[in-house]
Amino acid sequence: MIGLLQRVREARVCIAGEVVGEIDGGLLLLVCAERGDTELQAEKLLTKLLKLRIFSDEQGKMNLSLQDRLAAAQPAGLLIVSQFTLAADTSAGNRPSFTQAAPPAEGERLYDGLVQRARSLHPHVQTGRFGADMQVELVNDGPVTIPMRIAPPASPT
């Protein structure tokens, strides 16, 4: 599973001019399920991002997680947006290949499971809409942008 995590001051996702998800501050996660991914990769990605210490403490050091901010009553939203283009392979030619992205039905199932689990662990979760043409607006804080990849287990040989 691939994630692109951005620390944001604010972020929103719109579909056809309508805001469908919005946070005042926290993390924006763009996420893509790859072929072979399971709920295990989604769980590992979510666990890691909730505990990732990328917010500044009183001394200005990246030392606080999203959960730490929540405990301190600071903005701690999580906006999760599906983005299959994170699986782009640009190694050959000029047109990206997306063959490593999970098939749409599988990707949607894993995305929905990730969102459901996120909502059970964090009180401020907003989303886009899987497969929709979305416009994402954000004010990146820092900027801080962190790629994350949780690979499926290696196949036994």
Active site residues: 83-85
Q: Enter the tokens of residue 94.
A: 């000029």
Alpha helices in the chain (DSSP H): 39-51, 66-71, 104-121
The CA distances from residue 41 to 26, 29, 70, 72, 99, in Å, are 22, 15, 24, 29, 19
Distance CA 29, CA 144 (A): 12
Alpha helices in 5-65 (DSSP H): 39-51
